[in-house]
Amino acid sequence: MTEAILLVGGKGTRLRPLTVHTPKPMVQAAGVPFLTHQLARARAAGVEHIVLATSYLAEVFEPYFGDGSSLGLSIEYVTEEEPLGTGGAIRNVASRLHSGPEDPVLIFNGDILTGLDIRALVETHTTSGADVSLHLTRVDDPRAFGLVPTDDTGRVLAFLEKPQTPEEIVTDQINAGAYVFRRSVIDTIPADRPVSVERETFPGLLASGAHLQGMVDSTYWLDLGTPGAFVRGSADLVTGRAPSPAVPGRCGDRLVLPTARVAPDAKLVGGTVVGEGALVGAGARISGSTILPGAVIGPGAVVTSSFVGAGARVGARTALTGAVIGDGADVGADNELHEGVRVWCGATLPDAAIRFSSDQ
């Protein structure tokens, strides 16, 4: 049986203060909690047993996913009392694994949207005989990631988490957050204390001569760590650029959940998703945006690449670009909110309160 560990925890997320009651893995991307996409993709690749290793708001996962049978999976939940770091979280769930010492165990960062061929990663692991195999991807700016130079056979030469100096930037290949571990390697991670798999386990394994194998795969890949990335990921799921068997409905320009109501002349494009019970008023134009359940978009509003939280209201003719509107916030009519603005959960903005001017 193939099994996997899904890491969802840690220091919290930048999206979380805007969705107070829901940790980010449960915020809806393309109409279902984001985690559903990862679970469904793992299942499609033959994974049957998943251990969710979490350190925060664990109580929201189990009521939603239960024993996993609705996704054809068997899911177990383990909650850390204090965040144990990525390596500590993996070690902490080792007793739940059914795999034998030589068997491959998949591990996924819980905030990644990717088209990775999971079976190919397991195959690379098996044929190379590696102790650990890692999915690698190429990015323009690797500073926010783990840098992973390899030799020409794909064998990992070093692991440099969040490189600081220009000299450290020796490659554009980064750790994409999906691994296959030989089960016995998991058991060597110290128990009961925080361990970073990136800063401690991987460098330690390399220093001891272990075989780490990289598989560069340039398929769709996105870390959903920022609200902007989350919105983009959701739109890519809707259009089908990011493949997921869990998107409810056909892929296309828009996804309107069954109980949402959209005025006939409203225009929804670019992978916009309108959640359950949300309302979109006459003449509104929404592009590449996530409108969560129960939100209201007023008539004539223009919403681009933005996130509108559950139950939030966007007034008539208000323009949003790259904005994040927290759950239950109330943005009055005729406002103009641009790149990077975040309206906190439940905050109220009067009509015509904010205009944007470049003063050019």
* Site residues, Mg ion (CB under 5 A): 111, 223, 225
Strand pairing category for 104-109 and 212-216: unpaired
x-marked contacts with ligand GDD along 177-206 as a string, rule CB under 6 A? x--------------------x--------
| Candidates 11, 24, 162, 267; catalytic one | 162
Tell me the C-alpha distance between 344 and 17, whole Å.
8
CB 349 within 8 A of CB 331: yes
Tell me the C-alpha distance between 186 and 214, whole Å.
18
Considering only 5, 9, 246, 312, the residue that binds ligand GDD (CB under 6 A) is 9
Question: Alpha carbon of 13 to those of 18, 23, 200, 247: distances in Å?
Answer: 10, 8, 22, 23
Size of residue set near ligand GDD by CB under 6 A: 26
Strand pairing category for 307-308 and 132-138: unpaired
Considering only 55, 304, 305, 306, the residue that binds ligand GDD (CB under 6 A) is 55
Nearer to ligand GDD, 164 or 357 (CB): 164
Q: Which helix (H) or strand (E) holds 228?
A: helix 227-239
Window contacting ligand GDD (CB under 6 A); options: 83-91, 164-172, 229-237, 258-266: 83-91
Site for ligand GDD in 106-165 (CB under 6 A): 109-112, 145-146, 161
Q: Where are the beta strands (DSSP E) in 141-283?
A: 146-147, 160-161, 173-182, 212-216, 221-223, 254-256, 261-262, 267-269, 272-274, 279-280
Considering only 85, 163, 243, 281, the residue that binds ligand GDD (CB under 6 A) is 85
Q: Which residues contact 105 (CB under 8 A, 6 or more apart)?
A: 3, 4, 5, 97, 99, 180, 181, 182, 183, 186
Cα dihedral sign for 208, 209, 211, 216? positive
When asked if residue 33 is in the footprint of ligand GDD (CB under 6 A), the reply is no
When asked if residue 214 is in the footprint of ligand GDD (CB under 6 A), the reply is no
Nearer to ligand GDD, 174 or 331 (CB): 174
Residue 146, contacted partner among ligand GDD, Mg ion, none, CB below 5-8 A by kind: ligand GDD
Tell me the C-alpha distance between 52 and 67, whole Å.
11
Residue 175, contacted partner among Mg ion, ligand GDD, none, CB below 5-8 A by kind: ligand GDD
At its nearest, how many Å lie between ligand GDD and the CB of residue 40?
17
Site for ligand GDD in 275-334 (CB under 6 A): none
At its nearest, how many Å lie between ligand GDD and the CB of residue 108?
8
Nearer to ligand GDD, 8 or 73 (CB): 8
At its nearest, how many Å lie between ligand GDD and the CB of residue 221?
9
Q: Is 24 a catalytic residue?
A: no
Considering only 16, 45, 48, 83, the residue that binds ligand GDD (CB under 6 A) is 83
Tell me the C-alpha distance between 353 and 355, whole Å.
7
**Residue corresponding to tokens 């996704």:** 71
Q: Where are the beta strands (DSSP E) in 12-119?
A: 28-29, 32-33, 47-54, 74-79, 104-109, 112-114
Q: If you ran DSSP here, which 8-state letter would residue 6 be given?
A: E
Residue 123, contacted partner among Mg ion, ligand GDD, none, CB below 5-8 A by kind: none
CB 154 within 8 A of CB 235: no
Nearer to ligand GDD, 38 or 287 (CB): 38
Window contacting ligand GDD (CB under 6 A); options: 2-10, 14-22, 270-278, 320-328: 2-10
Considering only 174, 189, 238, 266, the residue that binds ligand GDD (CB under 6 A) is 174
Q: Which helix (H) or strand (E) holds 44?
A: helix 34-44
Residues lying near ligand GDD in the complex (CB under 6 A) are found at 7-10, 53-55, 80, 83-86, 89, 109-112, 145-146, 161, 174-175, 177, 198, 223, 225
Which residues does the annotation mark as catalytic? 162
